[in-house]
Amino acid sequence: RWWWCVEQEEGEEEMHPDLQEVFDGVVARDPAQPEFHQAVKEVLESLGSVVDEDASYLPIIKAICEPERALQFRVPWYTDDGKLMVNRGFRVEMNSAIGPYKGGLRFHPTVNLSILKFLAFEQVFKNSLTTLPMGGGKGGSDFDPKGRSDTEVMRFCQSFMMELQRHIGPNTDVPAGDINVGGREIGYMYGMYKKIRNEFTGVLTGKGMEYGGSLIRPEATGYGCVYFVREMLKVKGTNFNGKVCVVSGSGNVAQYTTEKILELGGKVVTMSDSGGFIHDPAGIDSEKLAYIMELKNVKRGRISEYATKFPGSEFVPIDKSLDYNPLWKVKCDCAFPSATQNEINAKDAKHLIDNGCVAVGEGANMPTTPGGVEVFQHAKIMYGPGKAANAGGVACSGLEMSQNALRLTWTRQEVDQRLDGIMTEIHKNAYETAKKYGKEGDYVFGANVAGFLKVANAMKAQGVL
């Protein structure tokens, strides 16, 4: 996987020598953590101008690359037939300079310390950009809930929380969901925390509405991504009216990205799943979107069924022999990769540029390869990286924390309004930071530096403890 590779790519700018020394130290200290190395490298590559302007940030950068705390623990649990199983549990508490640690819990066989340090490191800067007082963390286990009964998942979650509860709290560390950790798992863990600690408090986010959850949480990532792209378009003196948009995926992010684009006057002509994509030149209107939501969320069907239901649209099955994705050859003004990592490579990016695309907003995590990012930046189109553009999800988690602290539940309109304000501010910070350092329009640079400076300045003020 490309983000595990830390060798310098051909044509890549050399890292600032002082930062290269910091990076070499990170690799030497933890040589078996390639995922973490890549996350550090991507941020350090943006900080050369910052160090040149103020060398006092250099020791802060060294400190920020080391977790404040990394926990690993045993999680024993019993299967339905009485067999004892033992998994590993983790929590990486990366940085709390601007608020309690905040980040998801992931249950997946691939989970290890390197992957969680990588995710926690990224989370520090994403949370910093939200303008909310949240530090960065990440956790989880190598437990795989797939194929397990509800009672097995419950027993695992309860055992996991028996240890995790010692290290978290509403003012210390507030975990959320991530891969394979949804409402069911959050509910089981929250119940165990409440039982052990004898307190009803906002210690987890992603909760059910019945016990402290927030409205707009499912919509937040998709809505937020569209708000970010709206702000990029505004800088260029335009908006979504009449814009043709291509969206990949058909899950939560893609569905609510499409919903918000329609609301703002745009036209979405594609959606996809693992079997291929549909192209509807007439546009996916509200009625068609409602059909897709029922198809995917209730019936668990395939997107190909859309083409049968709506004449004039076509389904293009996936062709694994191709070295590009035909979805990104559809003529458009804006693109929203909302499916998975690495779905846009350099060739896909060129197809988008050649077909008139002027703006890209990443709803998924790392959907564009480094080669694709290079194409977008070279073409100087508006490119909103996931760190900034898809921060709406964690921003809404922060709003859930606020509602829990206030013992209030805000209306949909209130949460959406606050989410809009946060995404507008994220765009402003990234844009103005890039402009300050002579890189106007480079949202990758702007997001990395703006996120870093807030955390670094807080660490300096507190004495880098």
Contact between 275 and 260 (Cβ < 8 Å) = no
DSSP characters over 76-119: EEE-TTS-EEEEEEEEEEEE-SSSSEEEEEEE-TT--HHHHHHH
Query: Measured between alpha carbons, how far is 187 from 211 in angstroms, rounded to an integer?
Result: 9
Amino acid in the structure at residue 452 = F
CA 93, 338, 356, 325 torsion-angle sign: positive
CA-CA distances (angstroms) from residue 78 to 141, 151, 186, 300? 16, 10, 19, 30
Nearest to 260 by CA among 290, 219, 292, 223: 223
**What length is written for the chain?**
465
Q: What is the DSSP secondary structure assignment for residue 211, as one 8-state letter?
A: G
Query: Measured between alpha carbons, how far is 390 from 349 in angstroms, rounded to an integer?
Result: 19
Q: In whole angstroms, how large is the CA radius of gyration of the chain?
A: 22
Which amino acids are annotated catalytic?
138
CA 360, 454, 41, 140 torsion-angle sign: negative
Q: Quick one: tokens of 409?
A: 């539940």
Q: What is the DSSP secondary structure assignment for residue 210, as one 8-state letter?
A: G
- What are the percentages of helix, strand and coil residues in the chain, rounded to 5? 50, 15, 35
Which single residue is written with the structure tokens 């905040």? 102
- Alpha-carbon dihedral of residues 73, 66, 27, 70, nearest 10 degrees? 0
Burial (CB count <10 Å: 0-12, 13-18, 19+), residue 30: middle
* β-bridge partners, 176: 104
CB hemisphere CA count around 284 (13 angstroms)? 33
